[in-house]
Every structure is written in C-alpha cells, then in structure tokens.
Amino acid sequence: MFSTLTERGASATLDALSSGANDYVTKPANVGSVGQSMESVREQLIPKIKALLGRPVAPVRPADAPVPPPRPAAPRTGPGKKPAVLVIGSSTGGPESLAKVLPQLPTSLPVPVLLVQHMPPVFTRQFAQRLDRLSALRVVEAADGSPLLPGTVHLAPGDHHLVVRKSSRGLHTGLTQGPPENFCRPAVDPLFRSAVAAYDGAVLGVVLTGMGADGRNGAGEIRAAGGTVVVQDQATSVVWGMPGAITQAGYADEVLPLDRIPEAINRHLTGVLTGTVVAGGAR
C-alpha cells in the first residue's frame, strides 16, 4: 500500500492493513527532485519486500554458514519481579496483531500499558482511535506528562520516542525527539530502557511481529533487572525480525503464537494489585 502522510492517506492505509495488507510505504513529501523521491521510495520499499519474502535485510550470511538455533532463555540470577507495567513493541504486521491482542485484555487490567508501533505522525493518532474503539481498555496517542494509570494504553506518537519519567508527581509519560534508534523514531528500546529504570525492573515486555531488531537490547535489560519478556512466534509473525532477534539472544521467557499472547499477559498480571483507580471506573 502506498500512502500519503495525510488524514485521508492514514485512514485508507489502516483500512488496507485491516483487510489483509501486510505493510505500507509513505509517498515522499517536500523533497527536492524526482530522483530524491525515487530514492526515498527505494529505501523504504526494498527492505520491506525482502523482509516479507523472508530474506535477510542485514548483510547476507554465507550459504555454507550454519544457522544458529534459537537460544533458550538465559538463566536468571535472581527472582523474577511481579510486573507493575506492560510495555509492547511491534512493527511490520503489528497493527493487525495489536488489534487481536488488546481487545482480549480486560478493563480491570491492573497496570498501565505503553506501546510503540513503528508508524509516522497522523497514522498513530488514527491508529490509537481505532484500537480504542476495538478494546475495552482506553487507548490514546501518548502526550507528554500524562499520569500512568491502570487500564490506559499510551501509543507512541509518530516521530517521537515514548519513555517513562519519574517526578515528584509520580510516574508519567515523556516524549522526546532524540536521535532515531535502530533507524526508528519512535523506537522500542528507549521505552523498554526507561520502564526498567522507572519501575526497578518490574516490567512485562511483549514484542510482536516486526522487521529489524528494535527491542532486543531493551528486552535484555528487562530480563537482567528481573522482568519478563514474551514474544510472538515465527509461525504467526508477518516478519520474525524483532521477536526473532530477542529469541536468538536468549532474552525471551516465552515464545508464543499470537492467539496465546493475551492469555500470557493476563497470567503474568494475575495477583498484581491495582495501584490507582481509573477515574470514572470501568468503561
């Protein structure tokens, strides 16, 4: 799907994704020449095609080189911590995966949720609205300085990293325009790192389908601090880049098909006490 960076383009693209399209490329805007426009499309489109065909986007492995098997989760050096926050990362194929996972989470979810889906501005606002309509949880495009309350999902806005900040007011969202990480802004790693620091490792990290390796380093920090990491399996992922990178690194506590991930989230959050009552009660 080719899309303009407009409200109409975003709406049409999200409709296409919900109807079976796997990914999209945004049309260049405000570029200096036709040649620059073509190069922009080439840089976006070729890696996506290779990823969707199951070919490596990174440097090619020699044909005779052995493929390393998935590593089992690294042994823990201490007891795991009960999650106080849920952080989710996804990319290619993520919109539809999220549309299947979030509606399966209850209004009584006892922790706040922060979510990074690789998307440009405009798209994230409309995507948050669509998820909000599908889910019993409240889903919003994240704003700077919002308190982190149970039952609310904060989706990173396009072109901004979403992080957790701690202040005298408690824990709240933060938005930054720091350098892209893993070629992405928003990126998963800044969110995961900040959640580990703010919640002292009491983090449940979930990584769904997506190309690249964004989230791998952050997942390692979650596990090292006593948190838990759940990733989508290869068979149900549109692209097993992000969850595959975490699995190969030995950072995944569970590797599950998409339809089992909501159950895993609810299982890990069983017994967690709600810290704050959401104003207005259950939706």
* Active site (catalytic) residues: 91, 118, 214
Please say whether the dihedral angle defined by the alpha carbons of residues 153, 173, 89 and 49, taken in this order, is positive or negative: positive
Virtual CA dihedral for 57, 61, 62, 64, nearest 10 degrees?
-130
Task: Please state, in angstroms and as integers, the Cα–Cα distance from residue 258 to each residue in 1, 157, 229, 237, 263, following that order.
Answer: 24, 24, 14, 8, 10
Task: Please state, in angstroms and as integers, the Cα–Cα distance from residue 231 to each residue in 39, 53, 180, 198, 222, following that order.
Answer: 33, 21, 23, 22, 13
139's CB contacts (< 8 A; 6+ apart) are 102, 128, 129, 131, 132, 152, 153, 155
* Angle, in degrees to the nearest 10, between helices 123-134 and 7-18: 50
CA 178 – CA 34 distance, rounded (Å):
29
Residues in a beta bridge with 184? 181
- Nearest partner of 28 among 16, 17, 36, judged by Cα: 36
- Helix (H) or strand (E) holding 194, with range, is helix 188-198
Cβ atoms within 10 Å, residue 37: 14
3-state secondary structure of 170: strand
3-state secondary structure of 26: strand
Contact in structure between 175 and 160 (CB atoms under 8 Å): yes
